[in-house]
Amino acid sequence: MSNVVVSERIDSPKVAAQTPGQRILIIDDEAAIRDSLETLLTLEGFRVDLASDGFSGLDQLTRSTYDLLLLDLALPGESGIDLLPRIKSLVPELPVIMITAYGTVGNVVDAIRAGASNFVQKPWDNEKLLADIRVAIGKNLAEQEVVHLKRTLKQRVSFENIVGKSEPMLQLFDLVAQVAPSRSTVLIQGESGTGKELIAKAIHAHSPRRDKPFIPVNTGAVPSDLLESTLFGHERGAFTSAVAAKKGLFEVADGGTLFLDEIGTMRMDMQAKILRVLQDRRFMHVGGTQEIQVDVRIVAATNVNLEQAVKEGRFREDLFYRLNVISLELPPLRNRKEDIPLLANHYLKFYAEENGFPPPELATDALRLLMDYEWPGNVRELENAMERGVVLSNGPTLTADLLPAQLRGNTYSTALLEQRPDASLFDVMEDIERRIIADRLERCNWNQTEASEFFRVPLSTLNQKIKRLNISLKKRSRE
Ligand SMILES: Nc1ncnc2c1ncn2[C@@H]1O[C@H](COP(=O)(O)OP(=O)(O)OP(=O)(O)O)[C@@H](O)[C@H]1O
Ligand SMILES: [Mg+2]
C-alpha cells in the first residue's frame, strides 16, 4: 500500500470523525486475509493488531484492550468456535465478529449462541463489513454507557441526617463521598445556615478518621490571643493565667479532623500562624520550645467570600490557597426550592417527636408561603419556623397564620436588597412588580384580559408592562 493513499484517506474528515483510533484484533490463520483486512481497517482509521492462531490471540487479549475482535471460525487446531467461550470469559464486553467460509451456516448459529455479535462471509463486501463493525462497536459503547449510568445513579450517596434531593445537593453529596476518604484540606463556603457544619461532620464521618475526634473551633468568636493558646496549647507560666500546661485543639484532634469554622473573620496575625501548621503539621505550645507533630485533617468553613476578602487585603492569599485545595459550595435554599417541602416535613416530624405528638401536616397555603419565601437565613431559618409551628399548632394541620410574620409580610423587598448589594430600590420595585404580574397571569391561566381586569388597568398597559419587565409568556405559547 502506498503512503500517498494512506494519507489521503486518513486526512478525510469522515474517517477521522467516525473512528477515532478504535482498536481491532484480527485472529486468522491465513496471511492474505489478515493483510487485506488490516489494509482495509487501517485506511478507515482503526488501529489493528494481528494474530495467526488462537493461542497468540488470547495472549494479545490479555495484554491490550480492544474495541472489537474479528475471529476466524475455522482456525486450525482450536477452532474459533471453541475459542469463543474462553474469549467471552476473559473479556465479556468485547464484540466479536466471526469470519466464515461460504456455506457454514450451522456453525454460524453456534457462534452467535456462544456470544458472537455477527458474522461475515468470505469473500466479504468491504462497505458492509465496515458498517457491521461500526454497529457492533457503537452498540457496545452505548451498552457500556448505560451500565455506567445505572451504576452512578445507584451509587448516588445520601447522608443520614442531611436532607436534600435537588440536583445541586446530590452533586454535593457525590463530591463529599469522593473527598471524604483523603486527608486533603477542604474549604466549605456558603451563606449562613446552609449546612456547612453538617457537611463538615459528614466528611469526618465518612473518612477513615471517623473513630477519632471531630473538633469544631469557631475561629471568629474566640479572641485572637486566646485562640492561639486554644489551638496550639501552652506551657505552664506562658502567660499570667497559665497555671498549668494545656494541650491545644490541634493535639486533641490528632488522628481526627479539626473544623475551623468562620475562618473568614480570623485575624491576620492568627492567619499567619495557622498557615505554618497547615504547611507542615508542626507547631509549638505558646511559651514552648519543642515542635509538636500532629496528623490532623483540616476542614474550614466561611460565609464570607474569601476571594473577595483576599482582594480587599483582609485575608492572606497564601492561606486561601492552602485551604482551597478542595472547595465545596453550599447552595442557598432559594436556589433549590424543591428541597423546601422535604426539609419542612423532616423538621415537623423531628420537633413533633421531640414534643411527643404526631407531626402536623402542612396546609396548602402554608406550603405556598414556604415556597415563595426567599429564606435569607436558609435551612436554619426554615428549621426554626418549623419548630415554632409545631409548638404553636394545636391540631393536625400547620396553617399559614402559624408561620413567622416575615413569610407573610413584605420583607421580600428587604431580603432582596440585602442579598443583592448592586440592586437599587427601583430594581427591587421592578422585581416585585414582575413577580406580582407573573403570579397573577399564572393564576388566570395566562389570560391577559382577566389579569388586566384583576389589576384594574387597561389591557394595553398590562401588555406594555409584560414587555418592559420581560415576563415570559411561555406557558401561553405552548398551549
Ligand atoms: N440539608 C440539610 N438537612 C437537614 N438539616 C440541615 C440541612 N442543612 C442545614 N441543616 C440544619 O440547619 C441548621 C444550620 O446548619 P449549619 O449549622 O450546618 O449551617 P452553617 O452553614 O454552618 O451556618 P452558619 O454559617 O450560620 O454557621 C442546623 O440545625 C442543621 O442541622
Ligand atoms: Mg456554621
Q: Which domains does the chain have, with CATH numbers?
A: 3-150 (3.40.50.2300), 167-331 (3.40.50.300), 334-413 (1.10.8.60), 424-478 (1.10.10)
Q: Which ligand is nearest to the CA of 261?
A: 2
Among 7-11, 43-47, 55-59, the minimum mean pLDDT is found in 7-11
The rounded mean pLDDT for the chain is 84
Residue 471 has pLDDT above 90, yes or no: no
Q: What mean pLDDT comes out for the span 307-331? A: 93
Residue closest by Cα to atom 26 of ligand 1: 192
Q: What is the pTM of this model?
A: 0.59
Residue 295 has pLDDT above 60, yes or no: yes
Residue closest by Cα to atom 18 of ligand 1: 195
Taking residue 99's Cβ as centre, other Cβ atoms within 10 Å add up to: 23
CA of 55 to the centre of ligand 1 (A): 62
Question: Cα 173 vs. chain centroid, distance in angstroms?
Answer: 7
Residue 97 has pLDDT above 90, yes or no: yes
Q: Return d(Cα 299, Cα 206) in angstroms, integer.
A: 13
Cβ–Cβ < 8 Å for 433, 448: no
Atom of ligand 1 nearest to the CA of 163: 3
- Residue 329 phi/psi, 5-degree rounding, is -115, 120
Pocket test for ligand 1, best of 165, 197, 328 (most atoms within 8 A of CB): 197
Q: Give pLDDT, residue 478.
A: 36
Atom of ligand 1 nearest to the CA of 382: 12
Cβ–Cβ < 8 Å for 27, 33: no
Residue closest by Cα to atom 8 of ligand 1: 195
Residue closest by Cα to atom 13 of ligand 1: 380
Per-residue pLDDT band at 473 (split at 50, 70, 90) = confident
CA of 230 to the centre of ligand 2 (A): 19
Which one of 63-77, 307-321, 437-451, 462-476 scores highest in mean pLDDT? 307-321
Among 23-27, 94-98, 143-147, the minimum mean pLDDT is found in 143-147
Residues 216-227, buried b or exposed e (16+ Cβ, 10 A)? bbebbebeeeeb
Pocket test for ligand 1, best of 198, 299, 335 (most atoms within 8 A of CB): 198
Q: Give pLDDT, residue 477.
A: 40
CA of 329 to the centre of ligand 1 (A): 13
Cis peptide before 181 (omega within 30 of 0): no
Residue 9 has pLDDT above 70, yes or no: no
Residue closest by Cα to atom 10 of ligand 1: 195
Among 117-126, 312-321, 326-335, the minimum mean pLDDT is found in 117-126
Q: Give pLDDT, residue 4.
A: 29
Cell of 392: 404553636
Cβ–Cβ < 8 Å for 53, 77: yes
Calculate the alpha carbon distances from 293 to 204, 280, 296, 318 in Å.
21, 8, 9, 22
Per-residue pLDDT band at 15 (split at 50, 70, 90) = very low
Residue closest by Cα to atom 7 of ligand 1: 195
Atom of ligand 1 nearest to the CA of 383: 12
Q: Which ligand is nearest to the CA of 166?
A: 1
Cell of 313: 487585603
pLDDT digits (tens, 9 = 90+) for 104-158: 667 777 778 878 888 888 888 898 899 889 888 887 777 766 665 554 544 445 5
Percent of all residues in the chain with a pLDDT value above 70, rounded to a whole number? 88
CA of 209 to the centre of ligand 2 (A): 21
Atom of ligand 1 nearest to the CA of 199: 18
Q: What mean pLDDT comes out for the span 92-100? A: 89
CA of 130 to the centre of ligand 1 (A): 58
DSSP assignments along 410-435, one per residue: TTHHHHHHHH-TT--HHHHHHHHHHH
Q: Give pLDDT, residue 335.
A: 92
Q: Give pLDDT, residue 475.
A: 52
Which one of 9-18, 116-125, 451-460 scores highest in mean pLDDT? 451-460
- Residue 96: beta bridge partners? 69
Q: Give pLDDT, residue 77.
A: 80
Contacts with 241 (C-beta within 8 Å, 6 or more apart), sequence order: none
What sign results for the dihedral spanned by CA atoms 109, 110, 113, 117? negative
Residue closest by Cα to atom 25 of ligand 1: 192
Q: Give pLDDT, residue 108.
A: 73
CA of 196 to the centre of ligand 2 (A): 6
Q: Which ligand is nearest to the CA of 333?
A: 1
**Cα angle value 374/379/382 (rounded, 5°):** 70
Atom of ligand 1 nearest to the CA of 164: 1
Contacts with 104 (C-beta within 8 Å, 6 or more apart), sequence order: 73, 74
CA of 384 to the centre of ligand 1 (A): 11
**Ligand 1 pocket, Cβ-based, cut-off 6 angstroms:** 162-164, 190, 192-198, 303, 343, 379-380, 383
Residue 373 has pLDDT above 80, yes or no: yes
Judged by DSSP in three states, 440 sits in helix
Per-residue pLDDT band at 415 (split at 50, 70, 90) = low
Q: Give pLDDT, residue 241.
A: 79
Q: Return d(Cα 167, Cα 162) in angstroms, integer.
A: 14
Atom of ligand 1 nearest to the CA of 303: 25
CA of 304 to the centre of ligand 1 (A): 16
Q: Return d(Cα 138, Cα 143) in angstroms, integer.
A: 9
Per-residue pLDDT band at 44 (split at 50, 70, 90) = confident
CA of 197 to the centre of ligand 1 (A): 6
Per-residue pLDDT band at 417 (split at 50, 70, 90) = low
Which one of 100-104, 383-387, 452-456 scores highest in mean pLDDT? 383-387
Residue 382 has pLDDT above 70, yes or no: yes
Atom of ligand 1 nearest to the CA of 162: 3
pLDDT digits (tens, 9 = 90+) for 179-203: 999 999 999 999 999 999 999 999 9
Among 94-103, 374-383, 455-464, the minimum mean pLDDT is found in 94-103
Rg for the chain, CA atoms, rounded: 34
Residue 427 has pLDDT above 50, yes or no: yes
CA of 248 to the centre of ligand 1 (A): 27
